[in-house]
Structure 1
């Protein structure tokens, strides 16, 4: 999966995308928890579910 990079963030080397995208490969179930209303928009907490 590809996600757009916020302006000013570092490039993800070997991520499979270009300089304007981050690549995300999910082998197990992973939940990404974020709070767009009250937290930093770039903040996320990955939780692995085996």
Structure 2
């Protein structure tokens, strides 16, 4: 497995006007990705399978 990227903790995306309010978010105007946990994404360097990515929750 090779390191691809890391998603930082508490990464947020703004809520579009008219979209539902997040039920488990930190704020009413943003969605939290991965419920506020840091995630690392290692993948198979041979690219033998498009699903060969293993998300690893760090919190």
The bucket for the TM-score relative to the shorter chain is 0.3 to 0.5
State the TM-score, normalized to the length of structure 1.
Answer: 0.36
Higher helix fraction (1 or 2): 2
> Could you say which structure has the greater relative contact order, defined with CA pairs below 8 angstroms and 6 or more residues apart?
2
Q: Which has the larger radius of gyration?
A: 2
State the TM-score, normalized to the length of structure 2.
Answer: 0.32
